[in-house]
C-alpha cells in the first residue's frame, strides 16, 4: 500500500499492488520467517481506507503463521524449521505493562507499531526508492518476513499453519476478550455483537468458558448460521430491536456483552444489552475522532470496561 484513502470501489482504485521488495536479513533478536498462511483482517482494511492512520508506503497483514528460516544474533529459543504464529503487538518484556503481565499494552511495542517499524526501531523492507514500513511488526502479505522475536509464538508442528494463523489475531483478540478482559465465569450470560473472525472467536471463548447463554448478533444470516454451529445458543439479526430481544431473553440484559463490530451504533446497542452492573467490552476499531465528537455517544448508566 503506497497511499491510504483510495476511493471506492477498490476494484477500480486498486489501493494495493503486488511488487518485489528487498528484505534485509534479520538483525539482533529478529527472525526470518517463510509465510505459510496470512489472513485479511478488518484492521488491514482500516489501514487501507485511512480509518487507522499508519505511515506509508507499507506492506500489510498482521495475522499469519509460518516456518523459521533464519535467526538473528541473540535468538536462542527458536530453531530453523520451527512453526511460529505472528502476533500483532510485540512485547518488550521490560516495561510496566509487560512486568504486570499485560504484554498487549507494551509501550515500546505500541510505539513501534505506530511508527511502522520492528520493535528494534528498524525497517527491513525497501525498494530502489527507499524503505517500506512494517504493518504491526509483521507485514505478512509476502513470501517471507523479518520480524522481532517478540512478535512470534512457537506452536506445535502438527497444527495446520492455515489454522494456526488465526491464533495470531482473531482468536487472540476474541477469546482473550472473553477470558482475560471480561473474565466470563461458568453460568453467566454473554452476548456478542458482530460476527467477524474476532466475534466468532468470542463466541467460541464464551462457550468454552461455560456461559449459560451465548447470544450472537449480526446483520448477515450466514454468520448467524456459523455462530450456531460454533455453539451459540441464540442468534438475533442486528437491528433496532436487537437490544430489546436480548433483554427479554435474559430478564434484563446479559452479564457480559462483547462489541466486535467497530461501530458507534454497535457499541450503543451492546451497552443497551448489558444488565445493570454487568460488563460491556469493546474490541472494535471505529474511526478515530476528535475528543469533542465523542460526546455524540449516548451512554447509559451501566458499567463499561
Cα–Cα distance list, 305 to 31, 141, 181, 267 (Å): 36, 34, 8, 12
Cα 52 → chain centroid? 13
∠ CA 198-200-204, nearest 5°, is 110
Cell of 10: 477498490
Closest CA to 182 of 129, 255, 250: 255
Rounded to whole angstroms, the Cα distance separating 222 from 51 reads: 27
Percent share of the chain, pLDDT over 90: 87
> Model-level pTM?
0.86
**What average pLDDT does range 228-254 have in this prediction?**
95
Q: What letter would DSSP give residue 286?
A: P
Beta bridge partners of 259: 193, 282
For residues 133-142, give the mean pLDDT. 97
* pLDDT value for 51: 86
User: By the 8 A CB rule, do 165 and 63 touch?
Assistant: yes
Please give the mean pLDDT across all residues of the chain: 92
What is the three-class DSSP state of 21? coil
pLDDT one-digit tens code per residue, 147-203: 999 999 999 999 999 999 999 999 999 999 999 999 999 999 999 999 999 999 999
Alpha carbon distance 208, 232 (integer Å): 11
CB-CB contact of 184 with 208 (8 Å): no
User: What mean pLDDT is predicted for residues 241-249?
Assistant: 96
Q: Are 136 and 89 contacting, i.e. CB atoms less than 8 angstroms apart?
A: yes
Helices (H), the chain: 10-13, 42-48, 96-99, 107-115, 161-164, 170-176, 197-208, 221-229, 242-249, 264-273
So what's the pLDDT on residue 161? 97
Query: Taking 80 as the threshold, does the pLDDT of residue 100 lie above it?
Result: yes
pLDDT for position 286: 66
Predicted pLDDT of residue 305: 41
pLDDT at 233: 98
Mean pLDDT along residues 3-30: 95
pLDDT band for 42, please (50, 70, 90 cuts). Answer: confident
Q: What does the pLDDT read at residue 289? A: 59
Q: Is the pLDDT of residue 302 over 70?
A: no
Instruction: Give the rounded percent of residues in the chain with a pLDDT score beyond 70.
Output: 93
The pLDDT, as a whole number, for residue 288 is 66
**pLDDT given at position 291:** 42
pLDDT of residue 294: 42
* Percent helix, strand and coil across the chain, each to the nearest 5: 30, 25, 45
Amino acid at each position: 500500500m503506497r497511499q491510504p484513502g483510495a476511493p471506492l470501489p477498490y476494484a477500480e482504485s486498486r489501493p494495493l499492488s503486488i511488487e518485489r521488495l528487498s528484505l534485509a536479513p534479520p538483525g539482533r533478536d529478529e527472525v526470518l520467517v517463510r509465510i505459510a498462511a496470512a489472513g485479511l483482517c478488518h484492521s488491514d482494511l482500516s489501514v487501507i481506507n485511512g480509518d487507522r492512520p499508519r505511515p506509508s508506503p507499507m506492506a500489510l497483514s498482521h495475522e499469519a503463521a509460518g516456518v523459521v528460516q533464519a535467526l538473528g544474533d541473540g535468538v536462542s529459543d527458536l530453531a530453523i524449521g520451527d512453526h511460529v504464529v505472528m502476533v500483532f503487538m510485540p512485547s518488550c518484556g521490560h516495561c510496566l505493562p509487560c512486568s504486570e503481565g499485560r504484554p498487549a499494552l507494551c509501550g515500546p511495542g505500541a510505539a513501534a507499531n505506530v511508527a511502522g517499524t520492528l520493535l528494534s526501531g528498524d525497517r527491513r523492507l525497501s525498494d530502489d526508492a527507499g524503505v517500506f514500513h512494517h504493518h504491526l511488526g509483521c507485514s505478512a502479505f509476502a513470501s517471507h518476513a523479518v520480524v522481532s522475536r517478540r512478535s512470534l509464538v512457537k506452536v506445535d508442528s502438527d497444527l495446520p499453519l492455515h489454522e494456526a494463523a488465526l491464533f495470531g489475531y482473531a482468536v487472540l483478540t476474541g477469546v482473550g476478550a472473553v477470558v482475560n478482559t471480561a473474565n466470563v465465569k461458568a453460568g453467566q450470560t454473554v452476548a456478542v455483537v458482530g460476527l467477524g473472525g474476532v466475534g466468532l472467536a468470542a463466541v467460541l471463548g464464551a462457550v468454552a468458558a461455560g456461559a449459560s447463554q451465548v447470544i450472537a448478533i449480526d446483520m448477515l444470516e450466514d454468520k448467524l448460521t456459523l455462530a450456531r454451529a460454533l455453539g451459540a445458543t441464540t442468534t438475533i439479526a442486528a437491528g433496532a430491536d436487537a437490544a430489546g430481544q436480548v433483554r427479554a431473553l435474559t430478564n434484563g440484559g446479559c452479564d457480559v456483552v462483547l462489541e466486535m463490530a467497530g461501530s458507534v451504533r454497535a457499541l450503543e446497542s451492546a451497552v443497551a444489552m448489558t444488565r445493570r452492573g454487568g460488563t460491556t467490552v469493546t474490541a472494535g476499531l471505529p474511526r478515530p475522532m476528535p475528543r469533542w465528537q465523542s460526546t455524540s455517544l449516548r451512554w447509559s448508566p451501566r458499567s463499561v470496561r
